[in-house]
Amino acid sequence: MHISKRWWAFFVICMADLMIVLDMTVVNVALPSIKTDLGFSDAGLVWIVNAYLLTFGGLLLLGGRLGDLYGQRKLFLIGLGIFTLASLACGMASSQTMLIVARAVQGIGGAISSAIALSLVINLFPEHNERAKAMGLFGLVMAGGGSVGVLVSGFLTAIDWHWNFLINIPIGIVVFILSFFLLPAIRGVAHGEKLDFWGAILVTASLLLAIYAIIGGNETGWGSLQTLGILAGAVALFVLFIWLESRIEHPLVPLNLFRIRNLWVSSIVGILWSAGMFAWFFLSALYMQAVLGYGPKEVGLAFLPSNIIMAVFSVGLSAWMVMRFGFRKPIGVGLGLAALGLFLFGLAPVDGTFIVNILPGMLLLGLGAGMAFNPALLAAMSEVPQDESGLASGVVNTAFMMGGSLGLAILAAIAATVTDGSGATGVEAINKGYQAAFMAGAAFAAIAAILGALALREVPKEVLAQQAMH
């Protein structure tokens, strides 16, 4: 493919993935408005986010495998179409059930397209220097999409929260048309393989039960028979999933894929970091609204500094860091800075100010995410054969989404537990809950930093430099 067309195709992929990533966090600023309009409870609000994350995370692996088998462009377009139509349903939702179901369908379409997006980028840019540049920009979409979603949502919510979803319709149509003409029509490699739908069902059901137990644990008791029983069921389903994958001929996740060290280490790093990342997006938006009394536009603008920093890293600085320092140092330092940013949010008081209590954390989190995301994605795919790139892309994205979904449930449960047991009342009690959840998110990010810095297999600098000259 000619280089100019290749970059145009890359731009279209980024547009699609940005739209999908935005919907993970775009509702955060709108949650108070949705709660008032549709009568959600505080616990119910979590499901607006998790309905999307659950189907997204649970079906990413299947989406990646479908792309490998039946053609990446074909499945990318199918997923994009489902996502766009589900966005219309979300924008027209007039009840709790309709919104949650539509969010779940959005997750299905997003999973199919997003699982294939990273694989498409890898295949579009086989040369290392071009791939590093492309992955830097793609890393901005992955890392910055969430905070951009909060920024955009601030302005859309000020008009009407439904526009957080309706804005996807014209974008989705344009991206669909451009993708049809610009993306390469790479044939799949299917030869009569049976799809592992049972594997997809088992892993999704396992995650669903785990999150349900975590969310309900604060009400029923963490040591109650109901909570422990549901958690045991989640573990049993996950063990059954692993057993199934080891026995069938064409598994959803070939277990030998995890012999690729950088893939499984990056996946664990992704799980831990996304848990902290959702503390940033979800909790900081709620802190600014529920505690400090910010409006939607003010919350959106508060994320602007981190967006600018991540944009600077994406246009070449992050790729240069990989070429200069490899994978481990940028990941370790970047996620360490992100952990420090979350720690500062954990100290934010009831009467906090933007300059003292919000801006420093935003700057550190933007700097940390900008440094770490591109190296993490490149490390994950650095040892993967091309014919398994779709599946590996699904594994990496699944790690991020499952980490985000589980992390959000855990952090929301921590916040609720601390709020209820704080002995304080009103805004002070709410803030104590947020502080505890931010500290937990900081711990997740710190562990991810240590693991990424110590456990990844580094590609020799000489090899990187030699590849960059090709």
Q: What is the DSSP string of 427-463?
A: HHHHHHHHHHHHHHHHHHHHHHHHHHHHHSPPPPHHH
How far apart are the C-alpha atoms of 140 and 345, rounded to whole Å? Answer: 23
Nearest Cα to Cα of residue 64 among 432, 393, 420? 393
Tokens of 331: 């990941």
Contact (Cβ atoms closer than 8 angstroms) between residue 244 and residue 254: no
Q: 458 with 326: CB under 8 angstroms?
A: yes
The span from the CA of 268 to the CA of 179, in Å, is: 32
The structure tokens listed for 13 are 């992929």
What pLDDT, on a 0 to 100 scale, did the predictor assign at position 166? 92
Tell me the residue type at 62: L
Assign 3-state DSSP to the chain and report helix, strand, coil percentages, each to 5: 85, 0, 15
Please calculate the CA angle 213-45-35 and round it to the nearest 5 degrees.
Answer: 155
Distance CA 442, CA 439 (A): 5
What are the C-alpha distances in Å from 289 to residues 295, 298, 460?
6, 9, 47
What single-letter amino acid sits at 410?
A: I
Q: What gap in Å lies between CA 112 and CA 248, rounded to an integer?
A: 22
* Cβ within 8 Å of residue 358, ≥6 positions away: 284, 288, 302, 345, 348, 352
Angle between helices 328-345 and 426-455 (to 10 degrees): 170
pLDDT of residue 356: 94
pTM of the model: 0.77
The span from the CA of 348 to the CA of 361, in Å, is: 10
The HSE-up count of residue 290 (CA atoms within 13 Å, CB side) is 23
pLDDT at 465: 46
Please name the residue that has the structure tokens 């999908």: 20
Q: Do 80 and 115 touch, CB atoms closer than 8 A?
A: no
Q: Give the Cα separation of 263 and 256 in Å (integer).
A: 11
pLDDT attached to residue 78: 93
**Consecutive 10-residue runs of the chain (470 residues): their mean pLDDT?**
74 86 76 86 76 77 74 87 95 93 92 81 75 71 66 83 91 91 70 70 82 75 85 94 87 78 88 84 85 86 84 71 83 95 95 94 90 82 71 73 80 86 85 94 95 84 45
392's CB contacts (< 8 A; 6+ apart) are: 64, 119, 257, 260, 263, 380, 381, 384
In this prediction, residue 4 carries a pLDDT of 72
151: helix, strand or coil: helix
Q: How many CB atoms lie within 10 A of CB 406?
A: 22
SS3 38: helix
Token pair, residue 423, equals: 């002995």
Identify whether the C-beta of residue 436 lies closer than 8 Å to the C-beta of residue 287. Answer: no
Task: Quote the CA–CA distance of 65 and 194 in Å, as a whole number.
Answer: 11
Number of C-beta neighbours around residue 106 at 10 A: 27
